[in-house]
Amino acid sequence: MSAATLSAGRQARLMQVLLAPVISEKSTFVADKHNQVAFRVAPDATKPEIKAAVEFMFKVEVEGVTVSNVRGKAKRFGQFPGRRRNWRKAYVRLKAGQEINFAEQAEAK
């Protein structure tokens, strides 16, 4: 999907869907073994929106999207019990030969 074919409102929505990449031991393992990348996404994001956002922002082809809702942990804040916020995680499977390298893109900007 090219930037020229998307309306301004649609482009703005796609820019808000992906919040951050998830960099962890598990996400690195999944990236190497299954050609997937993990992202923290907006709580109301749908699979088609996530796919369109990744293709639009990183100029790659997406094969599939798997989404999971991560429950916030129960924590203590001093003497008061509390809870961390719930969040949504998306595993984006890229087509063969496609790659997203966050280190190179950070240097380019």
Predicted pLDDT at 107: 65
Predicted pLDDT at 109: 63
CA–CA dist 1, 37 (Å, integer): 20
Mean pLDDT for each 10-residue chunk of the chain (109 residues)? 74 94 93 94 97 95 96 94 96 94 68
CA 109 to chain CA centroid, nearest Å:
19
Predicted pLDDT at 5: 73
Strands 80-83, 87-94: parallel, antiparallel or unpaired by DSSP?
unpaired
CB 67 within 8 A of CB 47: yes
CB 90 within 8 A of CB 50: yes
Predicted pLDDT at 2: 56
Predicted pLDDT at 101: 81
Q: Quick one: which of 38, 29, 37, 43 has its CA closest to 72?
A: 43
Predicted pLDDT at 102: 74
81 DSSP β-pair partners: 76
Predicted pLDDT at 105: 63
